[in-house]
Amino acid sequence: MKRFALAGNPNSGKTTLFNSLTGATAHVGNWPGVTVDKREGTYRKLDEPIYIVDLPGIYSLSPYTPEEVISRNYVLDEKPDCVINIVDATNLERNLYLTTQILEIDVPVVVALNMSDVVRKNGDKIDAKALQEKLGVPVVEISALKQENLDELMQEAVKASNKERKGATIIEDKSLLHLISDVQIAFELKGIENPLFHAIKLVEMDELEVKMHPEAVETVNKFKATFKNDTFGSDFEALIADNRYEYIAKNYATAFEQASGLERKDTLTKSDKIDKVMTHRIWALPLFVVIMFLIFHVTFSEDILFLNRIFGLEITHEGWINFFTGMGYEGEPLGGIPSLGVWLQSWFGWLTGSLIDWVGSWMPAGQWYTSLVCDGILTGLDAVLSFVPQIMILFLFIAILEDSGYMARVAFILDRAFRKFGLSGKAFIPMLTGFGCSVPAIMATRTLEDEREKNRTIRLMTCFSCGAKAPIWALLAGIGAMAGFAGDIFVFTIYVGGIACAIIFALFMKLFSKDQYVSPFIMELPAYHLPQPRNVGAHLWEKFKHYLIKAGTIIAACTIVIWFLKSFGWEDGKFGLLLFEEANAEGEMEWVLHIDGSILAYLGKGLRYFFYPLGPLAGGWTNSTDGWKYVVSTLTGLIAKEDVVATMAELGLEEGTIGLSLAGAYSFAVYNLFTIPCFAAIGATHGEQKGKEFWLTLLWWFAMSYGFALLVYWVGALYEVAWWGGLLVTLALAGAVTGAGIVVSRRHKLALANN
């Protein structure tokens, strides 16, 4: 089977092309040794299937990022049968820089001019035939989004893969060419593959090449001593880059013909017009907040559009109540119409609950294995899986924002808003990735060149709620304490409040640090476009599959352990199963689990004293006889955050039995948001930080979660007793944050002035 590699710049449409070619055959993993996405799939529309690898998006083949090293090593070492180089036709000159480097490797190449439909729509023209003649490789105009000419592209790639191709360079400087030729000949005599590419990289003093060929460095250094460029001095990398761009502008970029002012259909593109509003200096942040609120309203609200709160809408018909609540009629009217997420969750919960009842009806009562299956495994999995509809809807919206190009603007907006406080948008990119999963988000911090900024970013990562924590928020959004404070607003404040807290914590880190460095942030904003259903569907399927695998492995194993610890213990001095048949209030016999005497209860009650300050009053999560259950649930979250909800369900803490006040619910939520993440994220952190920094990060996560949960609970409790007292404390805290912001901003301005 032939192997083709897709290579191109970020936002060139490379992944869209990959999804269009591979469809349902695509799967995602990690490259060996690094947590960078590895996408693989199969194209099946030709006589023989073609194996396709989607390389990470890169701007060059220099070893500045893990993505560049991965792409470079794959092409050089794995020797694909053909490299399909995706080029953004609307930005030809910059994209072709990577092309000139790929052409220096001895590998068949086909250039795919993507977004050709956009070029035509703008009234511009590209002479693909002329560009093909100058490049010396096939050039095909395509639209990955609209799936135009993809079959033609693959046919050209197959033809190219059947012919050998030698690398060629566009560097014209005679002195440089003489040096490159000498090194190339030396490499050829040693039998080194791709000698031209390696020779050019060694002349650039590429870090990887210097390590691989230290004996050849002396030859290059001798030449450097006799060479001096008026502009670049002896910086050969800059000189070669300048040669590339000069040649591209003179020979390749001429293939692109921009329409004149009268002929051009838009002087401003649609993306430019949208960005006038979405990235506006004043309105950008408020619009972002509104968009986030609408997402959570549609996902978590039990009163869509506030029809009950504003208009007093109530549903009294039993049939409609059952329809909207998943057969949940209890003799009382329904206040308002639930959102799509709540409606689907209600019916899914009814379905899984009915399944548990059905399984239980076929198993003998009072047996340990019945309790294990029904009260342990199925109850724990039900607590996690019943929230799948809401979580999938949330991920759907996030995928739409990402695929449309808006999420890239969010990083730009945050950078512009907070750079004056010494915070870079470059650090926000990994953090925003944390909304999906903390593991790749933590790994992405390696792109931050400043070690102190990298450490700060990792420590702030838990402020961004990962998908595994979503079931916790969904459960708390439906408890009684949220009846006067809508569940959608609660979840909204968790997500947006997490971002705000990340900024506040970063401010105080800067305040007590002598470091005033802010890394530069350069990011290409992709054009807005309608999300492609295939891309969004693939994203959701990956999330759903990951969720199911996790539920069937880690979470299922955890529920078995929790079931054993809660079901076995001491009763009347004897150790055994704590399941006994007793008469209920109506005199009927039923099986009752004496959980208070279990192993888990003894452990939880001992640990409860440590967490006691986080909610000791009525309605607090460490108060009452159930306090130890909340403590145990947070601890099992170290394995996987979904286990928090699964453990709560096994211990009888569900929507109808959770008696937390608003302050108690927020304290519990804040602790689980900021605390030490799952074992996988801890492992990823250990891979990025060693020694003291790693242990300081774990300490920071715990101290941040404990301290902020403590603050939230007691300020919230003060509001419940005397609202004016709570308001005064809130204003004092806001004043402290404002003061810190002013000090950091002044320091940053002073540092810029001194530089």
Residue 138 token pair = 């096939």
DSSP 627-663: HHHHHHHHHHTTT-THHHHHHHHHTT--TTT----HH
Question: What would the two tokens of residue 701 be?
Answer: 């996560």
| 3-24 tens-digit pLDDT | 999 999 887 888 888 888 987 5
Closest alpha carbon to 291 in 400, 447, 450, 375: 400
pLDDT of residue 215: 79
When pLDDT is cut at 50, 70 and 90, the band that residue 233 belongs to is low
Mean pLDDT lowest for which of 39-43, 200-204, 448-452, 729-733?
Answer: 448-452
SS3 string of 186-255?
HHHHCCCCCHHHHHHHHHCCCHHHHHHCHHHHHHHHHHHHHCCECCCECCHHHHHHHHHHHHHHHHHHHH
Residue 136 pLDDT level (bands cut at 50, 70, 90): very high
Q: Is the pLDDT of residue 631 over 90?
A: yes
pLDDT of res. 260: 58
Q: Rounded CA gap, 440 and 378, in Å?
A: 30
Strands 50-54 and 82-88: unpaired
Question: In angstroms, rounded to a whole number, what is the distance separating the alpha carbons of residues 693 and 55?
Answer: 32
Tell which residue, 29, 6, 3, 144, has the closest CA to residue 535: 144
CB atoms under 10 Å from CB of 124, counted, come to 19
Cβ–Cβ under 8 Å, residues 75 and 105: yes
- Find, among 501, 439, 351, the residue nearest to 641 by Cα: 439
Task: Decide if pLDDT at 120 tops 80.
Answer: yes
Report pLDDT for 109: 96
* Coil/strand/helix, residue 299: helix
CA–CA distance, 40 with 3 (Å, rounded to integer): 10
Residue type, 195: P
Cα–Cα dist 656/304, whole Å: 21
Q: Between 670 and 754, where is the model more confident?
A: 670
Average model confidence (pLDDT) for the chain? 85
Predicted pLDDT at 229? 60
Q: What pLDDT digit, counting tens, does each position of 262-306 carry?
A: 455 555 677 888 888 998 888 898 999 999 999 989 998 888 988
Greater confidence (589 vs 629) lies with: 629
3-state class (DSSP) for residue 703: helix
Whether the pLDDT of residue 115 is over 60: the answer is: yes
Summarised one tens digit per residue, pLDDT across range 46-86 is 888 999 999 988 888 887 777 788 889 999 999 999 999 99
Segment 735-752 shows an average pLDDT of 84
pLDDT digits (tens, 9 = 90+) for 299-348: 988 889 888 888 888 999 999 999 998 988 888 888 889 999 989 989 99
Q: Which of the residue ranges 238-242, 354-358, 511-515, 574-578 has the most confident prediction, judged by mean pLDDT?
A: 354-358
**Alpha-carbon distance 527 to 91, whole Å?**
11
The pLDDT, as a whole number, for residue 234 is: 63
State the CATH architecture for 2-161: 3-Layer(aba) Sandwich (3.40)
For residue 170, is pLDDT > 70?
yes
134 has pLDDT over 60: yes
CATH topology of domain 174-257: Helix Hairpins (1.10.287)
Domain ranges of the chain: 2-161, 174-257
- Work out the average pLDDT over 492-501: 92
Output the pLDDT for position 671: 97
Interatomic CA distance for residues 144 and 392, integer angstroms: 26
The reported pLDDT for the residue numbered 672 is: 96
Question: What is the tens place of the pLDDT at every residue in 637-675?
Answer: 998 898 999 999 999 898 888 989 999 999 999 999 999
The separation between CA 203 and the C-alpha centre of its own chain, rounded to angstroms, equals 38
What is the structure's pLDDT at 697?
95
pLDDT of residue 227: 64
State the number of CA atoms in the 13 A half-sphere of 586 facing the CB. 3
Q: Give the tokens for residue 55.
A: 């390389």
User: What per-residue string of b and e applies to 531-554 under the rule 16 or more CB within 10 Å gives b?
Assistant: bbebbbbbbbebbeeebeebbeeb
Tens digit of pLDDT for each residue in 191-214?
A: 889 999 998 998 888 888 888 888
* Distance of alpha carbon 561 from alpha carbon 635, whole angstroms: 13
**pLDDT of res. 755:** 60
* Portion of the chain with pLDDT greater than 90, in percent: 36
Ramachandran bin of 205, using left for φ above 0, alpha for ψ from -120 to 50, beta for the remaining angles: left
DSSP characters over 140-157:
EE-BTTTTBSHHHHHHHH
Which tens digit of pLDDT belongs to each residue from 556-603?
Answer: 898 999 999 999 998 877 888 888 888 777 777 888 888 888 999 999
pLDDT at 519 over 80: no
How far is it, in rounded angstroms, from Cα 589 to Cα 587? Answer: 7
Where are any strands of DSSP class E within 336-478?
none
Helix (H, G, I), strand (E, B) or coil at 59: coil
Task: With cut-offs at 50, 70 and 90, classify the pLDDT of residue 30.
Answer: very low
Range scoring the smallest mean pLDDT among 124-138, 360-374, 520-534, 691-705: 520-534
DSSP letter at 259 equals P
Is residue 167 within 8 Å of 103, Cβ to Cβ?
A: yes
Could you tell me the pLDDT band of residue 31, with boundaries at 50, 70 and 90? very low
Contact criterion met (CB below 8 Å) for 126 and 115: no
* pLDDT score for 10: 82
Cα gap 121→119, rounded to integer Å: 5
Of 235 and 413, more confident = 413
- Backbone dihedral region of 306: left (phi > 0), alpha (psi from -120 to 50 degrees) or beta? left
Per the model's pLDDT, the better-predicted residue between 256 and 444 turns out to be 256
SS3 state of residue 27: strand
Instruction: For the beta carbon of residue 343, count every other beta carbon within 10 angstroms.
Output: 19
Position 152 pLDDT exceeds 70: yes
**SS3 letters for 581-602?**
EEECCCCCEEEEECHHHEHHHH
SS3 24: helix
